[in-house]
Chain A
Amino acid sequence: GENVEQHPSTLSVQEGDSAVIKCTYSDSASNYFPWYKQELGKRPQLIIDIRSNVGEKKDQRIAVTLNKTAKHFSLHITETQPEDSAVYFCAASHIIQGAQKLVFGQGTRLTINP
């Protein structure tokens, strides 16, 4: 089955700097890669996702890159703000006729220092 490794487990950056979180996956058939943000005591929420037919996707300060050959994908947050502090989870899934079985990484606790 799929296995997703996520690094680092904790990350601390100064406000305004960039943050990068990396994930690797094992199943070459995986074709969908979402990123979820979970604030303390709250539910996970999707912030961005990418399909395997594209290499990069951006949404304002957030971007995700995918390297299918190397089986890794990354989350980039630029101009970080205090409200970006949270735990971020990457996930991978092989979508077949809509069926979706997400396998999550262990999470990265991001702290933005003012």
Chain B
Amino acid sequence: DAGVIQSPRHEVTEMGQEVTLRCKPISGHDYLFWYRQTMMRGLELLIYFNNNVPIDDSGMPEDRFSAKMPNASFSTLKIQPSEPRDSAVYFCASRPPGNLEQYFGPGTRLTVT
């Protein structure tokens, strides 16, 4: 199994631009999580899905952030418009049924200038 796949691995964009981060969870996993990691705030849960349905989005910082999961094998996290304070590493993680271990993807390092 290839594990959780995220793209792009690095993204540099200018303030005000739209950014879309992508995630492919491990096949068969029914939970998908989006996290943000910064030095200041550590690892924060943004939103998670169960069977493609958003369960808790209370960690999404602002209306500029949105996430979708149109099917079991794909999810996106969109930031529009982006701001320099959005610079961080964004991780996607998935979890199989009946198991609490979350499997993280390699992350997307976002830099907003």
Contact = CB atoms under 8 A, between A and B. Distances in A.
Interface stretch (B48-56, B62-70, B76-84): B48-56
Interface in A40-96: 42-46, 49, 89, 95
B45 A43 contact: no
B100 A104 contact: no
Nearest to B91: A43
B105 A49 contact: no
Interface of B: 31, 33, 42-45, 48, 50, 55-56, 91, 95, 97-98, 100-102, 104-107
Contacts of A100: 31, 48, 95, 100, 102
14 contacts: A32-B100, A34-B101, A42-B106, A43-B91, A44-B43, A44-B91, A44-B104, A89-B42, A98-B31, A99-B56, A100-B95, A101-B48, A104-B42, A105-B42
A43 B104 contact: yes
Given A43-B106, A89-B43, A49 B95 contact: no
Interface residues of A, number: 20
B55 A99 contact: yes
Given A100-B95, A101-B48, A104-B42, A43 B105 contact: yes
B56 A95 contact: no
A102 interface: yes
Contact of B100 (A34, A106, A107): A34
A41 B97 CA distance: 28
Contacts of B95: 100
A105 B95 CA distance: 20
Given A89-B43, A104-B43, A99 B50 contact: yes
Contacts of B44: 104
Contacts of B101: 34, 46, 49
